[in-house]
Structure formats: structure tokens, C-alpha cells
Chain A
Amino acid sequence: MTVFLLRRVGWAILVLFVVATLTFVLSHVVPADPAAFLAGQNATADTVARIRAEYGLDQPLLIQYLSYLRGLLHGDFGISLRTGRPVSEDLASFLPATLELLFFSFAIYVATSLFLAIIAAKRPGGRLDSGIRLFTMLGSGMPVFWLGMALQFLFFYKLGLLPLGGRFPLRAIAPPTVTGFLLVDTLLAGQPGAFLSALSCLILPSAAIVLNLLAVGTRMSRAALISESGKQYVRTARGKGVGPRRILYRHVLRNAMTPILASTSIQFGYMISWVILVEVIFDWPGIGLYAYQSFQVFDYAPVVALALVSTAVFSIINVLLDILYPIIDPRMRSLRA
């Protein structure tokens, strides 16, 4: 088990290294001179040269790469040309927003896809099952950005029910930052009204993400549930006099969890990319929006950081899942021993 985990962590580090190198190379073949854009349109040539030296942009590429790698090892992603601040500092202020959106969407995704799958799996091919299939297919058929804009149009513009974007309503007072997660901080501050405000901002962006992923998620979970429901241990449980609800939750669902988790970990990768996209649409002040705005002015350090952080988050989640599998399914413990 330990050996297995070490191997997974080793892989994750290798992937991170490759991502770091790739993004470095990609960001350095960009034709634009970042120093010129940092200096601004009216700066003199001397100023541009001074800034280039300040940021080490005049060094040979190999030196830049090595010092960049050395920085990464110390958690230093360099300095953002756009904000003029260390990227790690920027990340610290933007990451909680992204993680909050990611975790919230993930929770909604898991809950909704399971809920729909359970209903659909009750009577496969039934009217509810077809309805759910149609509904989720509609969601996944639309690109995320389109879905996001359609939701904004409907819920902000037409109905005026939910905010257009942002993480907190314009005219509400934000709670003091403790965890960086507004849903938690508002509760810690004892402000239920602010909690609902923060929640109201989360609804549309996560809906756009979840609706897009729901079809695959529901289908996978439904298939797992149907396949598990047909297993012989279900007949045994019925023979023991166990009721349908207990069969579903104690028997079928626990067994279906392994295939569901496997598909969820793949979906989680999509979710990370959709979060980044949705942040741009909803002006969600997370690392996606941060990197997007930086990318527009060819400020590449934040883009590299985003690639690394999302790869890291993805790797961490996968390692966590690997730890989780044997807990859920005891058969996997002996397989890995």
C-alpha cells in the first residue's frame, strides 16, 4: 500500500515537472516582449530595458528556466507582470475562490448525479428515466460558456433572481476572511444573510458546470446502480427481508461506489477546466480569471502557475481516491497488499 502510494506520488511529481517544463517552453515561444507591455505604451526604450533586466528577461533561456525551476521548488512561481505581485501571493488570494467553486460544484454534481441516477435506475427505460436522460443530455449538449450565458440571461436578466456574476453581491458586506471560503466565513461570522448572498452567487456558475457534466455522471452512476441491483447479493438481502431503501443505501450504493468514483475522478478533471472557463464568464475572482487576464497580456507566470496548481489539485484528488478505493471496497485491500 505504501509502495503503491509512493509510486503514485512519484508519478504526480513527474507529471508536474513535465507540465512545468511544457508551459515554460510554450510561454517562451510567444513572440511578444513582456517587458514592453509591463512598461506601458508610453514608456521610453530605457525604461523597457530597465524592466527587462529587473525581471531577468534579458537572461539566456536556460538560465531563466533553471532559476524558474529553482523558484518552483520553493513555492515561488515568479512575479506576475500584470499585477506586479509574486504569483504565489496572487494565488493565495485567488485560490480559495476557485476551490470554493470547485468543491461546491463537485458536491452538487455528486449529489445531483447520484440522486438522478437513483431515480432513473429504479425503472430503467421508464418515463422518469427517459426524462432524466433527455434533461441531462440537453445540458451536456451545450458548451459551458453558452450554458453560463444562457443561465445569466434567464436568472439575472429576465427573472432578476440571481446575481450576474462575481463572488459576493455588490451591495452586501463581506465577512472577515478566516478560511477564504465565503460560505464558511459568513457562517463563522454569524451572518446567515451574507451566507445566502454568497450562496446566491455560487448557484449559476456551479449550475453551468454541473449541467454540462450531469449527463455522463448520471449515466455512469445509473449504469453502476443497475448493474449492482442485478447482483445476487441483492437477492440474498431481499431474502433476508431487507427493505428496498436499506438495500439501496447499504448494499447497492456501497458496491456501486467504486465504479462511480472511478468515473467521477475523470469528471473531476473536466470540472477543473470548466471551473476555469466559468470563472471568466461569471467574473469569479479565482485563479482561472486571474490566469485568463494575465494570458491576455502575455503575462505567463500566472498561466504556468494555473497549469501547475490544477495538475496538482487533480493529482491530489486522484491520490485521495486511490486511498479511498480500498476503504470503500475491501476487495481492493488484498489486491494491493
Chain B
Amino acid sequence: MLPSKPCLMALAAGVMLASGVTGARAADQKLFVWAEAVEPSTVDPAKSDVNQEMTIARNVFDHLTNFDLDHPDHILPALATSWTEDGTSWTFKLRDGVAFHNGQAFDANDVKATIERDLRIGQGQSYLVGDIKTVTVLDPHTVKIETAKPDVYLAANLSRIEIMSAKDIAAHAADSDHGDSYFSAHADGTGPYKMLSWTRGAQIDLERNKSWWGQFPAKPFDHVIDRFVTQASDRSRGLEGGEYDLANFVPRDEAVRIGKSKGFYLVEGNNLWAWPAIYLNTKLAPTSNESFRKALVESFSYDAMNQYFLGASVTPRGPVPAWVPGSPEKDLAVIKTDLNAAKADLKASGLSNPTMKCSIPSGFSEFAFAATVLQASAAQIGINVQIEQLPFVQAIEAIKSNKSNCFVLGNANLSPTDPTRFFAAHYLTGGFYNSANYSNPQLDALVQEIPTVTDPQKRYEMLKQASEMVVNSHTIIWAARPTTIVPVPDGVGGYRIDPAEYINVRLWELYKK
């Protein structure tokens, strides 16, 4: 009586067709799918400052300079073919025959318009070139940039500034928002990939710029889909299942497992992402007590952290990682667990049975683990640590408004060579991520001065001194500095980790194996 037979047949047909649909995709050899954890808010390079926004900025736009990923202090030509420097004045010779994706030719006016726009907006990566005072067009292929004070890192930092079209900027200058809403949805650069479309909530489609001035590898991907995949489990499962060719923010244990399974290999490298650093609030008792903070730093079990990262991590000695050009790390004292010293310092603090609260952002297993290690370590010397996991925004708000003693966060510096950027956001007065609410005018002045010093040896000494100041403030526990591990399918070649970024994808270097 019931139409069960036709029903079953329809179901079977549906399943067959559906499998045909998913199966067909493997045939498309020139397509590359990148699983992005979060949808970008904007594709405006002047406002881009997080991972998902960098995916578009870095691949759609070009920069005046580039740098060698393996030797970040080797600055390479890009849109600028050569440059000269004279204290506060830099002159860049620009590449000829470069065109934007919309066909307009690139020239010096584009550099001027871009930098002026970045400085007016004051968001994104503009802080890297915040010292620029004027940009002058000398001729269509020469541009002069003048800074308020000498900045030895300027050429390197310009490798992070995406060059937009002056004509585009001028065309929208009369808009009520100066084109902000237009540029937040439209990206038109000279870079290796063109932005084709943005399907809100789903994906951005990119197409290879075949007339790009740079070099593609032998079998590049012609079509790239930047797919937004919110759930971490979906990203790893999709990568494993072949739905995605590469994914960012795959949980570490999953990344190792997938990378070691058949059909995958692991790419490992130094990176900015997810070093758990524990900030101790200097403005709220008991962490306002310096001896108490010192006791915490000394009690912390660094070995536990290195075990957690399965040996793929080191214990930092200061704020600047060893692989950053000019890092003083090797000359700094080793930081290690010393329970006796910790007990002595706790006694010196005069606090008895102290209790402190640690607010950590939820969703990061590394951060949660670091907090747990802190709790266990501190308990050994009689300190009670309470942990609460909060959404990122609430967690950082809790410590900045002195409602919590401690916070766990990674460290970031988008400049390939400028080590002072490790200080700006995290340790200098008023820095956005200065979660210890630490303020040391002497340190502020010292760090400000470093870029103006031309003598590398002197810079090194100053950097060492600044690093020691932060170490000796005992406002931070660098729990561990792990490498980043990215599982890559055997069919994809050319993936490299950019040390001066979060997890990145340099599409123009990727190829089909």
C-alpha cells in the first residue's frame, strides 16, 4: 500500500548522483581549496590584520619589497627593483610593465596613494610604517619616502604593505566613507592572484594572474577557493577526506596525526602562532607584587610544556625568538624551573596562602594547557590558581580592567626583521596586548630608539638590554615556543611557513605534484 519501492529507488538514485557530484571534483587538477577558519571581515589591505584577511592581501596585492623566508633579513626586490637610503630619506625605483588586475598600469602614484591612505586609516599593518612623513613622486618609476626619524627596518616593513591602485582610491575619494565600504569588498591589486568573487558566508574565489611579473612554479593552481570552514574538526576532516587541499588552524594533535598518515607529509617551521605566553597583571594583587611574580616564573614547569609539544619546542629566554634577525636570545640567561628560589621569593613577597585568578581565552588547547601547568606548578609552592575560560574578547577585557591576574596569549610580529615590534603591542605602555598592564618609561624610550640606530652591534646591545628589562620585570612567563606543524597532501608542493606571520598560504609558490 505504501510507495516504499519508488521511494527507495529515488533514494538510491539520489545517493549515486550525489556521490557523482562529489567524486567529479577530483578531476579538476588546477583547483586548490584552502580551508580558512574564519571569514574575512574585509579584503581592504589597509585594514587587514588577521590571518583570514592576510590570505587575500598577500596573494592579491604586491609589495614594494619581499624577503627570504629562510633568511628574513635578506630583503628582495618586488614592485621596487632597487632602493637607496639616506637617513630619513628612501628612494625606490619601481618595476616597469606591471599592471593591476583591472588593466591599469602601476606607477609611483599608486605607492603614494596607498601609503597616504594607510596612514589616514591607521588600522591594519600601517603601524609598521607609522613613521613615514611624506611620499613624493619623483617620476612615474621613482618614489621618495621620508620618515620622521631614521628607520633601519623600513625596507623590510614595506614588504608587508600592499600596494593599491591610486586611480581606484581617487575614484572613491568622494564617497561618504572615502571608499571604505567599497574597498572592504573589492580587492584589485597587481599580485599573483585575482579576486573573482566573494560569496558571503561561503568562499572567495581567486584566479591566477597569468600576466603577473613574478615567477610561478611549473604546475601552479589556476583557480583557488578560499573556503570558510568554521569548525576545526571540519577542517581536519575535510583535509583528510580530500575536500580541502590545505587548511589553517588544524589542532596540533590532529595535524601531527594527519601529517603522518598515508598521502600526507608534514611541513614544520618557526612561526608566530600559539606560543603560550602567560601575562601577570602588575596592577592587581597578588600579581602586583614583584617577588610573587618572580616566584611564579621560577616555579613554572617548562619541561611539562616541552613534553606537551613532543619536543618540537624550546623554552624561550626573552621576548625575541632566536630565529629573528639580530635576536639577543643566545646571550640571554636560561630561564628554568627552580622551586627553591621560587619558595624563597614567595617568602620574600610576604604573602601567605595567596590566591589568584587566571582568565584564558577558550578554544586554544595550548593556552589551556599552559594555564593548567601554571596551576600545578604554583600549587607546589602553595599558590592557589583559579582558571576560568572565557571567550577571547571577554578574557582580555577581564585582565585589562583588572578583574583577573593572568591571561594567556600568543605573541605576534608581522615584520620580518624589526624586533621592536615584539615589544610594541605586548610590553610597552598602552600596547593593545599589554595584558600585564606593565609600564616602564625607560623601556618605552629604549625600544623607540632602536630603529634609528644604524650600527648593528649597538642595536644588538640595546635590544639585549630591552629584552632583559622585560625578563627582569617578571610580568610574563614564556611557557614554550613551539614550531608550527602543517599537514600537506602529497599532491601539493611548495608550501612554506612564513615565520613573520600567523599560519599563511603563499599561493603563488604552490604547485601540483
Contact = CB atoms under 8 A, between A and B. Distances in A.
A283 B425 contact: no
A157 B397 contact: no
B202 A32 contact: no
Contacts of A162: 18-19, 22
B201 A290 contact: yes
Given A42-B125, A45-B430, A169-B21, A157 B241 contact: yes
A328 interface: no
A219 interface: no
Interface in B206-255: 225, 227-231, 233-234, 237-238, 240-241, 243
Interface string B9-28: 00000110111011111001
**Among B28, B184, B237, which residue has the most Cβ atoms of chain A within 10 A?**
B237
Contacts of A50: 122
Interface stretch (A57-65, A79-87, A225-233): A79-87
B1 interface: yes
B90 to A, nearest CB: 22
Interface in B147-169: none
A171 B14 contact: no
B202 A168 contact: yes
A71 interface: no
A164 to B, nearest CB: 5
A66 interface: no
Interface in A168-202: 168-172, 174, 193, 196-197, 199-200
B432 A164 contact: no
B234 A285 contact: no
Contact of A40 (B18, B47, B202): B47
A161 B22 contact: yes
A289 interface: yes
B448 interface: no
Nearest to A86: B181
B22 A169 contact: yes
**Among A46, A196, A281, which residue has the most Cβ atoms of chain B within 10 A?**
A196
Contacts of B122: 43-44, 46-47, 50
A269 interface: no
Contacts of A21: none
B225 A293 contact: no
Interface stretch (A9-17, A148-156, A254-262, A311-319): A148-156
B456 interface: no
Interface stretch (B34-42, B289-297, B463-471): B34-42
A170 B25 CA distance: 8
B132 to A, nearest CB: 14
A196 B18 contact: yes
Contact of A293 (B24, B38, B238, B241): B38
B394 interface: yes
A119 B2 contact: yes
Contacts of A143: none
B21 A43 contact: no
B393 A37 contact: yes
A31 B124 contact: no
B230 A289 contact: yes
Interface string A2-46: 000000000000000000000000000011110011011111111
B31 A40 contact: no
B200 A160 contact: no
Nearest to A36: B432
Contact of A84 (B127, B181, B228, B433): B181
B391 interface: yes
Nearest to B26: A171
A160 B22 contact: yes
Nearest to B229: A283
B25 A199 contact: no
Interface in A195-226: 196-197, 199-200, 203
A100 interface: no
Task: Report the interface size class on chain B.
Answer: 35 or more
B179 to A, nearest CB: 12
Interface in A269-302: 280-281, 283-286, 289-290, 292-293, 296-298
Nearest to B122: A47
Interface stretch (A89-97, A132-140, A234-242): A89-97
A88 to B, nearest CB: 13
Nearest to A39: B123
Given A196-B18, A196-B21, A42 B401 contact: no
A286 B200 CA distance: 9
Contacts of B230: 280, 283, 289, 292-293
A37 B356 CA distance: 27
Contact of B49 (A32, A42, A152): A42
Contacts of A326: none
Given A42-B49, A42-B127, A94-B200, A161 B19 contact: yes
A18 B398 CA distance: 30
Contacts of B143: none
**Among B15, B21, B24, B126, which residue has the most Cβ atoms of chain A within 10 A?**
B21
B346 interface: no
A228 to B, nearest CB: 18
A127 interface: no
Contacts of A336: none
**Among A33, A197, A283, which residue has the most Cβ atoms of chain B within 10 A?**
A283
A331 interface: no
B73 interface: no
Given A84-B184, A170-B227, A157 B240 contact: yes
A163 B200 contact: no
A78 interface: no
A245 interface: yes
A164 B234 contact: yes
B38 A170 contact: no
B393 A297 contact: yes
A202 to B, nearest CB: 10
A31 B33 CA distance: 37
Contacts of A46: 122
A203 B202 contact: no
B124 A199 contact: no
Contacts of A37: 393
Given A83-B184, A165-B234, 19 more contacts: A41-B412, A42-B49, A42-B432, A43-B127, A93-B200, A152-B234, A156-B238, A157-B241, A161-B15, A161-B18, A164-B234, A170-B225, A171-B24, A197-B21, A200-B21, A280-B231, A281-B234, A283-B231, A286-B201
Interface of B: 1-2, 14-15, 17-19, 21-25, 28, 31, 33, 38-39, 41-42, 47, 49-50, 121-127, 180-181, 184-185, 199-203, 225, 227-231, 233-234, 237-238, 240-241, 243, 391-394, 397-398, 401, 412, 425, 430, 432-433
30 contacts: A33-B397, A40-B124, A41-B412, A41-B425, A42-B127, A42-B432, A44-B127, A47-B123, A82-B41, A115-B2, A153-B237, A156-B238, A160-B23, A162-B22, A164-B238, A165-B231, A166-B227, A168-B202, A169-B25, A196-B17, A199-B18, A200-B14, A245-B1, A280-B230, A281-B234, A283-B202, A289-B201, A290-B200, A293-B230, A298-B393
Interface of A: 30-33, 36-37, 39-47, 50, 82-85, 90, 93-94, 97, 115, 118-119, 149, 152-153, 156-157, 160-172, 174, 193, 196-197, 199-200, 203, 244-245, 280-281, 283-286, 289-290, 292-293, 296-298
**Top 7 A-B pairs ranked by shortest CB distance?**
A285-B201, A200-B18, A171-B25, A47-B122, A32-B393, A40-B49, A42-B127
